[in-house]
Amino acid sequence: MILNLTNYMSGTVRVCVRGAMPEKFINLCIAQHIFLWGITKIDDDFYVSMRLTDFFRIRPIARISRVQIHAISHKGLPFLLKKVKRRKMLLLGAIMCFLMLNVMASYVWFVDVIGLKTLPSSRVKEIAYENGLRPGISKDSIMAKQIEKEILVSMPEVAWVGVTLSGTRAVIEVVEKTMPKQEDKAPANIVALKDGVITEYIVLAGQGTVKKGDTVKKGDILVKGIVPEQVMTNELGQPIINNNVPQVIKANGIIKARIWYEGYGEAELSTPVHQRTGKREMAVLVDIGSNQLSLKRAYLDPNASFEHEVVYKKLPFWRNSGITVESTINIYHEVNTLWVEKTLEEARDEARSKALASVQSIIPETAHVISRNSEVLQTSETNLVRVKVSIETIEEIGQSVIISNQ
């Protein structure tokens, strides 16, 4: 590698040696300590490479050897400098471009804000602009810590902020605070979301209306959103009648129930499969405005089966006349019908999978499945297998409903 670098710095020339005694020329060069490499022979000519400094020493040797020397290529730093010297403006332009790139890279041209979810990025950029971070400003004049401090003070919703410089880009990374959700304290009842049998009933706030083991229907009130009345007695032990209007509150509780789901699935014992034979017929209709023209008709075998495919094509406006030209291509593919037979077990498993998929799509992810049963139903169709899947779960059925009339 050092040799290649030395050759590049000094420059190399590839020459063609042509004459009566090229071998003598090579031997004399070696005797004069002229380094040659890449020696090849094509027909009667020899091609060799040498350094540029040695190229100017071979004229006496060529005269003694009675050969002609033709330079066919050259490369290296001296030739590159010679080219550059001829194109001084190109060199000057390259230097100026390099200097301009260095100068431009010392400025910030783009300001980006990342990490925001709910806050507007325009507000962050506005604060940064007021503190000197804007496109076209020198990197050395940017006070990142001061900008971070001002954003934190001006925007209480921000938990952390960092300003970093990457090339000509300034990135303001913002982490928002996680604000606690405000609980809706509007008076509300807890009603049943679906039918079921109560398995767990804990009232945390409000007045209970059902108990464990009760059967409830969708929409039934499970916990009323009122403060339970306390029975007061007088000195004689008689209850005191309270005529005050009950205080309404937001009911709260844990209410779980047993829920039943049913799903149905069907599968055929014998299903048709259509395979195209490769034969097809085509019919072409052209609509020009409100008129329809048949360009080609399809002649179909009445004893064969076909798959129908329709292709619509809208042609460009005809000479900008405004008339819409559309073509409808009806393609009829001839098919052979094959019947694929399934065993009773295969059809039953397929029907069960369909039924299970249909019922699982309506069961909440939080529900706890306690039983799953399947049953093959009797049908009048001999080619059909119908399966019913029943799933029993325990899940939360309470739903908060705001009390409209207080």
Phi, psi at residue 328, to the nearest 5°? Answer: -120, 120
Phi, psi at residue 222, to the nearest 5°? Answer: -95, -40
Coarse DSSP helix, strand, coil percentages of the chain, rounded to the nearest 5 percent: 25, 45, 30
Model confidence pLDDT, tens digit, residues 284-339: 888 877 788 888 888 888 888 888 898 887 765 554 455 667 888 899 999 988 88
Give the span between the Cα atoms of 294 and 296, in whole angstroms: 6
The residues spanned by each domain of the chain are 2-81, 107-176, 188-254, 270-341
Looking at residue 39, its amino acid is I
pLDDT at residue number 36: 86
Name the fold adopted by 2-81.
Answer: Alpha-Beta Plaits (3.30.70)
Answer whether 299's CB lies under 8 Å from 280's CB.
Answer: no
Summarize the confidence of residues 14-22 as an average pLDDT: 85
pLDDT at residue number 167: 83
Give the span between the Cα atoms of 105 and 103, in whole angstroms: 5
pLDDT at residue number 59: 86
* Model confidence band, residue 238 (pLDDT cutoffs 50, 70, 90): low
Burial of 389 per CB tally in 10 Å (0-12, 13-18, 19+): buried
Give the span between the Cα atoms of 384 and 266, in whole angstroms: 7
pLDDT at residue number 383: 87
**Strand, coil or helix: what is 139?**
helix
115 conformational bin, left if phi > 0, alpha if psi -120 to 50, beta if neither: left
Answer whether 178's CB lies under 8 Å from 242's CB.
Answer: no
Other CB atoms within 10 Å distance of the CB of residue 241: 6
Summarize the confidence of residues 252-259 as an average pLDDT: 93
pLDDT at residue number 229: 66
For the chain, the average pLDDT equals: 84
2: pLDDT strictly greater than 70: no
Give the span between the Cα atoms of 402 and 400, in whole angstroms: 7
Beta-carbon contacts of residue 3 (< 8 Å; ≥ 6 apart): none
pLDDT at residue number 244: 61
How does DSSP classify residue 193?
S
Model confidence pLDDT, tens digit, residues 23-67: 888 888 888 888 888 888 888 788 888 888 888 888 888 888 888
pLDDT-above-70 percentage for the chain: 90
Model confidence pLDDT, tens digit, residues 149-191: 999 988 888 889 999 988 888 999 999 887 666 667 788 999 9
81: pLDDT strictly greater than 60: yes
Answer whether 76's CB lies under 8 Å from 69's CB.
Answer: no
DSSP string, 75-110: ESHHHHHHHHHH-HHHHHHHHHHHHHHHHHTTEE-E
- Using alpha carbons only, how large is the chain's radius of gyration in Å? 46
Q: For the domain covering 107-176, report its CATH number.
A: 3.10.20.310
